[in-house]
Structure 1
Amino acid sequence: MTYLSDRITTDEKLCNGKPTIRGMGITVATVLEFLLAGDTKEEILANYSILESEDIDACIEFTLNMVNHNLTVRRLAA
């Protein structure tokens, strides 16, 4: 069994602290952008050979976990 924390990591020195996949410098946001653009999991894996299918699944699960929690977003002054 693979845990989400094995796949999604953060490091302040990498990608400005954004969540990345296994510390490789590919952000969760990048994978989600490809999916939202209509790319299939297979297409993403073909373009990023260092990724594994479970990495993409972890990105989706991570995002669902984020939106399902009661989070407060700080409003910036206009």
Structure 2
Amino acid sequence: MTDQRLLARITYDPDIFGGKPIIRGMRISVESILSLLAQGESAEAIIDDHPELEPDDIRACLAYAHAVIAHDSLDAVRRTRQAT
């Protein structure tokens, strides 16, 4: 699946998590999936815990993170270093 098709799975709704990016209109945020992955959870474990998710939803979160970082990578690194 192309990045564009993956990114189409990421939506926004001002009534859900204050408009943060979510997966296919569900009450599951991209942020929460990325956090679980960063903590070492596997995509399979996340899907087991959230059976409404599909493998492409996890890939969509990663594609979204890549798209954001590709546009703002240096600022993200600087902010992370300043916070420590």
Answer yes or no: same fold by TM over 0.5. Answer: yes
Q: Give the deviation of 1:70 after TM superposition.
A: 4.3
Structure 2: segments with no counterpart, 5+ residues = 77-84
Aligned partner (choices 37, 40, 46) of residue 39 of structure 2? 37
Task: Spell out structure 1 runs of 4+ moving beyond 2 A.
Answer: 70-73
**Unaligned ranges ≥5, structure 1:** 74-78
- CA gap of 1:35–1:11, structure 2 versus 1, over 3 A, is same
Report Cα offsets for 1:24-77 as digits up to 9, x if no partner.
01000000011011000100000000000000000000000001014879xxxx
Aligned-residue Cα RMSD (Å) equals: 1.9
- What is the aligned-residue identity percentage? 38
**TM-score normalised per structure 2:** 0.78
Aligned counterparts, 1:1-78, within 5 A? 1=1, 3-70=5-72
Aligned residues, how many?
Answer: 73
SS in 1 for 2:25: coil
Looking at structure 1, the residues matched to 7 and 34 of structure 2 have their Cα atoms a distance apart, in angstroms, of 18
Change (3 A) 1:32 1:70: closer
Choose between structure 1 and 2: higher helix proportion.
2
TM-score scaled to structure 1, two decimals?
0.84
